[in-house]
Amino acid sequence: MSQSVPTRALRPATTAGPFVRAVAVRRFVALTGAGMSTDSGIPDYRGPGSPPRAPMTYQEFVSGPVAQQRYWARSHLGWSRMRRADPNAGHRALAALEATGAVHTLVTQNVDGLHEAAGSRSVCALHGQISDVVCLGCGSRTARAALQDRMAAANPGWAEEHATTEVRPDGDVELDDTAGFVVPVCVTCGGALKPDVVFFGENVPRARVEHCYAAVDSLDPDDDLLLVLGSSLTVMSGFRFVRRAVSRGVPVLVVNRGPTRADPLVETGLVHRLDHGTSQFLTALEAAVAAPVTFPAELSEVERARAH
């Protein structure tokens, strides 16, 4: 191992430099959460100052037309704004790091598609993507943009009437009165439509979970790292990969504003915590990886090769 991750005390570190230098010489699997997208204007659920949220569960959504009307009325407004969000400096830096070979796999809990828009290719969207729609009847998948056009045509003036409502992290808005909103159905079978994302109370498809486990299992405890970015790890869908890494002796660095579910694992000596913004950390990491390696002039060619 060419350089170790700094040993952490229970109090999270706030200085990024030592961690940037340590991660710069490692390959890593990245696990990203909502904190990655806050600099793109998309709020998160659990960051400092975030208000309490109660997203719709899968069980509520499939309970019938009333719940689906409430969901789509809100989502129609929220997604029209989320789709205009651009990748931030952190997304772009992570894509650039992937191009250098530093990123083995990018596992994201986000559904906004910003990693892909930034140019990342080895992305596993753990919870799906809000830009896709699935029919609960026949299983056909269609583009969310097409459904958005159908909803706009069926509900003229709805967007203008509610233009100032607050956007929520999962792509909808704060809105109580949704009566009268017309919800389009599947053009193939007339079934109910659902965004192709994993709701609270719904299971992540097993194939995705196994793919992510395999990525973590491929990490070398001596040379690699699991890098968690902008996630409080509150839900098990992401936290299980931290536990898997720790069980295999793989170091974990969590870069997040605010406490995380992994904080008690700092005592293992394998989990390290940095209370820091993800965009700032990743841009510094990109710069460190791109920095040319220089050696003292007195080194022989053989010594230079060995050092490199």
- Cα(130)–Cα(141) distance, integer angstroms: 12
Domains of the chain: 17-290 (3.40.50.1220)
Rounded Cα distance between 61 and 297, Å, is 67
Q: Give the angle 129-94-105 at the CA atoms, nearest 5°.
A: 65
pLDDT of residue 41: 87
Distance CA 165, CA 59 (A): 25
Task: Determine the Cα–Cα distance for residues 39 and 277; give it in Å rounded to an integer.
Answer: 9
* Catalytically annotated residue among 76, 104, 115, 127: 127
Q: Which two tokens stand for residue 268?
A: 């293992």
Closest to 198 measured CA to CA, from 34, 57, 96: 57
Count other C-beta atoms under 10 Å from residue 62's C-beta. 15
Q: What stretch of H or E contains 87?
A: none
pLDDT of 255 reads: 98
Residue linked to tokens 């940095």: 274
Pairwise CA distance, residues 50 & 56, whole Å: 18
What pLDDT is attached to residue 164?
65
**Per-residue confidence (pLDDT) for residue 74, from 0 to 100:** 86
- Among this protein's residues, is 127 annotated catalytic? yes
Per-residue pLDDT of the chain (308 residues; tens, 9 = 90+): 444 555 444 578 889 999 999 999 999 999 999 999 999 988 765 555 555 566 789 999 999 999 999 999 888 888 877 788 899 999 999 999 999 999 999 999 999 999 999 999 999 999 999 899 999 999 999 999 999 999 999 999 887 877 667 665 555 556 667 888 999 999 999 999 999 999 999 999 999 999 999 999 999 999 999 999 999 999 999 999 999 999 999 999 999 999 999 999 999 999 999 999 999 999 999 999 998 666 555 555 544 454 55
